[in-house]
Amino acid sequence: MAGSIGSALMATPRVLAFDVFGTVVDWRSGIARDSSRFLAQISRSDIDSAAFADKWRGRYQPAMAEVRNSVRPFVVLDVLHREMLEGTLFEHGIDARAVDPVVLDDWSRAWHRLDPWPDAVIGLTRLKMRYPIVTLSNGNIALMLEIARRGRLPWDAILGAEVIRAYKPDAQAYLGTAAILDALPAELCLVAAHHSDLAAARRSGLLTAYVDRPMEYGGAAAPDRDQHQEWEWRADSLTDLADQLGCD
């Protein structure tokens, strides 16, 4: 059990809201697996699929920033993932317009085929016995739904960016989710593997639970490691979090 000094004295959350990419599902392995197959289809197996996954994900924050900064109206993450794929291909000298659109569509939907970390389903199932568990992801509803059905993630509700029409770390993503749940911000706990996400949630008054996912970037350091704080809870897995929150 990871350290959670004083957690017995903490306010108890009423609802748990989960980041999904990296926290509940392993995006890098899934994107690398599918990209390997598609890179072979376009005769570019010389490109390392894990590095390709990292490059694709690297376009995530800049793509959402355009929406957050009102450079463009809200569009769902499926649309951004497709554009980010085209940009990543371009970076590797591949013109997306020369690729079969059916292949491109299927490739960009690799994000729908991500698998949960090994502890996720049992951890969520235990947490759900005591707390409502909802998504608070930047992923759109259809994307979250497909990941959940594929991996049998037992969400009580799929909330997040599309419902609020704002991307994390905009305060509205956290505050709007609490409002929909008829909860005060302090009654909602964000569970996430990312310090940057937790820091924004805390600025909005939410409780915070950090889940360590050392393999999210294949063992490399997380880009937001300098935003570390003492979170209300710190767990090595969702089953560890269930232990700490007193869920059988």
Q: Is residue 211 involved in binding its own copies (CB under 8 A)? A: no
Sort 162 into a burial class: Cβ within 10 Å, 0-12 / 13-18 / 19+. buried
Cβ nearer to its own copies, comparing 92 with 149: 149
What is the rounded CA–CA span in Å between residue 147 and residue 149?
6
Site residues (CB under 8 A) for its own copies, limited to 66-105: 78
Cβ nearer to its own copies, comparing 143 with 201: 143
What is the rounded CA–CA span in Å between residue 79 and residue 49?
21
What is the rounded CA–CA span in Å between residue 29 and residue 159?
25
Cβ nearer to its own copies, comparing 117 with 155: 155
Cβ nearer to its own copies, comparing 99 with 145: 145
Residue of 53, 144, 193, 222 interacting with its own copies (CB under 8 A): 144
Binding mask 157-196 for its own copies (x = CB under 8 A): xxx--xx----------------xxx--------------
Cβ nearer to its own copies, comparing 187 with 236: 187
Residue linked to tokens 């568990």: 133
- Contact segment (CB under 8 A) with its own copies among 25-33, 55-63, 100-108, 143-151 equals 143-151
Shortest Å distance, C-beta 67 to its own copies: 17
Shortest Å distance, C-beta 191 to its own copies: 17
Q: Is residue 114 involved in binding its own copies (CB under 8 A)? A: no
What is the rounded CA–CA span in Å between residue 60 and residue 55?
9
Are 161 and 168 within 8 A, CB to CB?
yes
What is the rounded CA–CA span in Å between residue 95 and residue 203?
42
Residue ranges of E strands in 183-246: 188-192, 207-211, 233-235
Structure-block tokens of residue 164: 């609020």
Measuring CA to CA, how many Å separate 242 from each of 82, 131, 234, 235? Answer: 35, 10, 11, 9
Binding mask 20-59 for its own copies (x = CB under 8 A): ----------------------------------------
Burial 165-204 (b: 16+ CB within 10 A, else e): ebbbbbebbbbbbbeebebebebbbbbbbbbbbbbbbbeb
Cβ nearer to its own copies, comparing 176 with 240: 176
Shortest Å distance, C-beta 15 to its own copies: 9
Q: Is residue 141 involved in binding its own copies (CB under 8 A)? A: yes
Q: Is residue 148 involved in binding its own copies (CB under 8 A)? A: yes
Give residues in contact with its own copies (CB under 8 A): 78, 132, 134, 140-142, 144-145, 148-149, 155-159, 162-163, 180-182
